[in-house]
Structures are given as structure tokens and as C-alpha cells.
Amino acid sequence: MSAGIAVITGAATGIGAATARLLASRGHRVVIGDIDGRAEGVADEIRSEGHQALAVRCDVSDEDSVAGLFVSARDLGSVQVVVANAGIAETKGPLHELDGSAWNRVLDINLGGTALSMKYALRHMVPQGAGSIVAISSILGLVGQANSAAYSAAKAGVANLVRSTALTYAAQGIRVNAVAPGYVDTELIRRLPPEVSSQMISRQPLGRVGTPQEVANVIGFLASPESSLVTGAVWAVDGGYTAQ
């Protein structure tokens, strides 16, 4: 039996793709929203395993695009789970050299896109009196890092957006949580020089970067009834980074 619709943004690669595969394996009909054409390949892979999946082109910084994603999802059934995962990195540098357009782009996608995804998720979940939303923050939303003004501000905003929204909708049966990944083996990490990635590994007490699947496993827990008493929480999945 299907567990309802799960909408995952930014699921063409990495954590989002791993989450889409996991939720599909648990019976969800998954809708993948991404501007990256590889989303269709993820949907094809999921369908080849006998599960239902739909890829929809979506720019989370554009409200009409996000609204369209949820129209496509609602056509398939009841939206039970939404994972607001879409995000971008930034070109790091000191604040006095900040590029205003770059700042706006990072905030528009990482924070604004999360807020829009949650907005349209809630429009589906409030009438049915149930649902689980999981947003992706970051360790840089919990602790500081030099030369990361826009990304850190956006991800800290996601963490508190989740807390506020969780309190607003708790009485309506909707749970809202966040995951804050540390350094994870994604395309972004693989493109870094070896000396930089080695430095990242040294900062995580477990002594290694995480895998997308390890983060997806926590997202899957927060999306499921197994976490029925959990709302307004920001779960660090960081190999101990933020415990230092």
C-alpha cells in the first residue's frame, strides 16, 4: 500500500536523490523537483525498481514554479511528506567584499526556496490535518565559519524557520523538522582539492565525511510516523562536528 506522496526538491543528485530512493522504497510515490535534468534519471531508476516516481522541473526561487510542482504532486494523491532540500553553495569571501547579487541568489534559493516549499506543502497538509516536512539546514546554520556569510545566514534562517513553523502548525497535526548535515560525499566535495577535503575530514571527530545515504536515513526517520513526537528539532548529522 502506498504511503502517500513525498515531494523532494533538489533530488537530482546527492542527499536529495538518496532521500527520493529511500522514500520510494518505503512505499511513497515520489515527486522530484529540480532544475537539473538528471532528476529524470533518478525517477527512471526508481521506476525500474517497481516504485512510482515523477520528475518535475522546478526552480525553488520562483514561486510559480514551486506552486506548479505541488499541483503536479497533488494530481497523484495526498501529499504526506515534503523534503525541502534544494540549495546551492556560495563563493566564499569576507563580508566587506560581498557581491550583492550572489548574496541574493544564495538567500533566494537556500532560504526563500525552503520557505516557498514549506508554504505550498502546508497548503496541502493543513486541510488534511497531517503531514511531515523536513528542511535541510547545515552545520553552518548552527555554528560559525569564516568567509561564509550568505550560506551561513541562509542555513541559520532555515533552522529558525523550522522552529517557528513547527510551533505554528503543531496543533494541526503537522510536524516540521530540519537536518543539519556536516561534510558529506557529494559532487561539491569531490570537486575540491585533496588538501581541502582532507582538512574537512579532520574536522569531523568520526574521521570521515558522511554519505548521502546516512543523511537520507535521518530524513527518512523524521518523515516517518516513527518520529511522531519530534517537531521543531534540528538534527545535526555531522560526525560530531558541532559537539566540539
Provide the pLDDT for residue 146: 86
- Name the maximum alpha-carbon separation found in the chain: 55
Distance CA 44, CA 46 (A): 5
From first to last of the 244 residues of the chain, give the pLDDT tens digit: 357 999 999 999 999 999 999 999 999 999 999 999 999 999 999 999 999 999 999 999 999 999 999 999 999 999 999 999 999 988 788 899 888 999 999 999 999 999 999 999 999 999 999 999 999 999 999 998 888 899 999 999 999 999 999 999 999 999 999 999 999 998 777 777 787 778 878 889 999 999 999 999 999 999 999 999 999 999 999 999 999 9
Q: What is the pLDDT of residue 2?
A: 56
Q: List 179's β-bridge partners, or say none.
A: 136, 235
- 5-243 is classed CATH 3.40.390.30: no
- pLDDT value of residue 195: 79
Residue 130: what residue type? A
pLDDT at position 92:
81
Q: Which of 219, 134, 117 is nearest to 174 (CA)?
A: 134
* Strand ranges (E), the chain: 5-9, 29-34, 53-57, 79-84, 131-136, 174-181, 234-237
Asked if residue 69 lies in contact with residue 7, where contact means CB atoms within 8 angstroms, the answer is yes
Residue 112 is classified by DSSP as: I
Q: Phi/psi at 179 (nearest 5 deg)?
A: -115, 135
Beta bridge mates, 237 = 181
In our burial notation (b when 16+ CB lie closer than 10 A, e otherwise), range 173-192 reads ebbbbbbbbbbbbbeebeee
Q: Which of 12, 143, 18, 22 has the alpha carbon at shortest distance from 88? A: 12
Q: What is the reported pTM?
A: 0.94
Pick the catalytic residue: 120, 151, 169, 241? 151
Instruction: Give the pLDDT confidence score for residue 1 in this predicted structure.
Output: 39
Domain ranges, ordered by start, for the chain: 5-243
Instruction: Give the residue among 81, 200, 95, 91 at the shortest CA–CA distance from 132.
Output: 81
Q: What is the DSSP letter of 19?
A: H
Strand partners of residue 56: 33
DSSP 187-215: HHHHTS-HHHHHHHHHHSTTSS-B-HHHH
User: 82 with 117: CB under 8 angstroms?
Assistant: yes
183 in catalytic set: no
